[in-house]
Amino acid sequence: MGKALIIGCGGVAGVVIHKCCQNSDVFEEIMIASRTKSKCDAIKEKLDGTTPTKIRTAKVDADNLDELCALIDEYKPDIVMNIALPYQDLTIMDACLKCGVNYMDTANYEPEDTDDPEWRAIYEKRCKEEGFTAYFDYSWQWAYKEKFEKAGLTALLGSGFDPGVTQAYCAYAQKHLFDQIDTIDILDCNGGDHGYPFATNFNPEINLREVSAPGSYWENGHWVEIPAMSIKREYDFDQVGHKDMYLLHHEEIESLAKNIPGVQRIRFFMTFGQSYLTHMKCLENVGMLSTTPIEFEGHQIVPIQFLKALLPDPATLGPRTKGKTNIGCIFTGKKDGKEKTAYIYNVCDHKACYREVGSQAISYTTGVPAMIGAMMLMTGRWNKPGVFTVEEFDPDPYMEALNKWGLPWQINDNPVLVD
Ligand code: NDP
């Protein structure tokens, strides 16, 4: 079928690469390009000879537009898969426009330097206008809509699990289960245990920025913001059991509020253990989560980047992690004039993921939908020019692919609701 350029070679990309190689009818050739080429070479060495997919590797700095364009022009991929960090989203989108190639990613844009005055002025205006203060939002990437339309190219934003699969669940519920969706609760439960007192399951810098931000939810047409971790609920998750979960701001709420007509409330909850929260609070209190550089013994260091260097690399958690994840959406609404509820969710086993692709379930549940999103564009099953999130496409082929490629979903028609 074609060629994909995969940018990044961390925890999630490791799964994406394995899954593309399992799906070599679609991904006949892949190029793995990242900042540290030795990581790309190591995974190529592991997979060469086990798959018909032809693998090449390259070094690229995805913050550098010229380097990206030179690589794209030389390799001529059908799609660029951005599995690096959200910091690179805009540069990679620029490169795709310049070189005429489709784009996809797994997380919406946020800047590396949150003290940049130009960015900060726009951010502060957005905080006032929109009513939430997270560093990430869709406005930066939605601003590319017209450019992608004019170029006849597609950009698929946020095809991981959440964002990503959660929005496919919403589109599926809208298409098949409800005439009107009134409320959506997205529940992200990780019942896994890696044995460390403190580690993050994906890039620590991005993860800690996300969970230490104030929480917010969408209600009756506007955002309601609350102090971080101030709304807590307990929920009994299928195959995991009782867990404490906390309301967070999350990017898909922003697009779902626009794309699910008449929705009254959208919330996002994530489970955290007490040890994680205590460590995070302590690190925050001493300034270790700060993104502002400080002077230390003649060097400029960014505290959260220094912390990242101390914490376990999420890509190494695979062999240590046991337990399951359970991620899904609870819907309330109406069908044929009657009140209705539904819960669509996936349960994923950390150890089974490790046996299959050598990664824990957080990387797996992100990497599989990233491969599927790219497959939707490469096979033409999702095909319209512009910049879109997952719920803006027909969910059926994506939902079918989730069952086929390792993330089977189920529906509970009578779930316990979250108050
Ligand atoms: P990692 O930190 O493990 O990997 C990031 C990779 O990107 C590394 O290989 C890194 O290179 C590379 N990279 C960073 N900067 C550059 C650059 N300037 N040029 C080229 N390569 C670069 O992160 P994860 O794999 O954990 O996360 C990947 C993405 O997935 C993130 O955007 C994260 O937010 C997203 N995510 C999405 C989820 C979802 O459900 N939607 C859930 C979890 C994660 P190097 O090895 O040299 O550091």
Mutate to test the pocket of ligand 1, among 112, 165, 251, 366 (most ligand atoms within 8 A of CB): 366
- Residue 278 reports pLDDT greater than 90: yes
In the chain, what percentage of residues exceed pLDDT 90?
93
Q: What average pLDDT score do residues 15-20 get?
A: 98
Q: Would you place residue 321 in the very low, low, confident or very high pLDDT band (cuts 50, 70, 90)?
A: very high
Mutate to test the pocket of ligand 1, among 15, 16, 34, 169 (most ligand atoms within 8 A of CB): 34
**What do you get for the CA distance between the two ends of the chain, in Å?**
47
Instruction: Give dist(CA 236, CA 291) in Å, integer.
Output: 36
Ligand 1 atom 23 nearest Cα: 203
Using a 6 Å cutoff on CB, does residue 28 contact ligand 1? no
Using a 6 Å cutoff on CB, does residue 204 contact ligand 1? no
Using a 6 Å cutoff on CB, does residue 16 contact ligand 1? no
Q: In angstroms, what is the span from residue 10 Cα to ligand 1's centroid?
A: 6
Q: In angstroms, what is the span from residue 385 Cα to ligand 1's centroid?
A: 26
Q: In angstroms, what is the span from residue 93 Cα to ligand 1's centroid?
A: 16
Ligand 1 atom 4 nearest Cα: 10
Q: What are phi and psi of 291, to 5 degrees?
A: -100, 5
Mutate to test the pocket of ligand 1, among 202, 316, 325, 327 (most ligand atoms within 8 A of CB): 202
Using a 6 Å cutoff on CB, does residue 9 contact ligand 1? yes
Q: What average pLDDT score do residues 334-360 get?
A: 97
Instruction: Give dist(CA 202, CA 205) in Å, integer.
Output: 9
Using a 6 Å cutoff on CB, does residue 225 contact ligand 1? no
Q: In angstroms, what is the span from residue 146 Cα to ligand 1's centroid?
A: 27
- Residue 9 reports pLDDT greater than 90: yes
Nearest alpha-carbon partner for 135 in 110, 159, 163, 160: 110
- Residue 256 reports pLDDT greater than 90: yes
Q: Would you place residue 354 in the very low, low, confident or very high pLDDT band (cuts 50, 70, 90)?
A: very high
CB atoms within 10 A of CB 403: 12
| Residues 38-81 pLDDT 10s | 999 999 999 999 999 999 999 999 999 999 999 999 999 999 99
Across the chain, what does the average pLDDT equal? Answer: 96
Q: Is the dihedral of CA 389, 243, 334, 381 positive or negative?
A: positive
Q: What is the pLDDT of residue 60?
A: 98
| Residues 176-235 pLDDT 10s | 999 999 999 999 999 999 999 999 988 888 889 888 889 999 999 999 999 999 999 999
Using a 6 Å cutoff on CB, does residue 206 contact ligand 1? yes
Q: What average pLDDT score do residues 126-147 get?
A: 95
Instruction: Give dist(CA 388, CA 39) in Å, integer.
Output: 31
Q: What average pLDDT score do residues 286-302 get?
A: 93
Using a 6 Å cutoff on CB, does residue 373 contact ligand 1? no
Q: What average pLDDT score do residues 14-33 get?
A: 98
Q: What is the pLDDT of residue 209?
A: 86
Environment class of 25 (CB within 10 Å of its CB; exposed 0-12, middle 13-18, buried 19+)? exposed
- Residue 295 reports pLDDT greater than 90: yes
Q: In angstroms, what is the span from residue 136 Cα to ligand 1's centroid?
A: 15
**CA Rg value for the chain:** 20
Closest atom of ligand 1 to CA, residue 86: 32
Using a 6 Å cutoff on CB, does residue 83 contact ligand 1? yes
Q: In angstroms, what is the span from residue 269 Cα to ligand 1's centroid?
A: 23
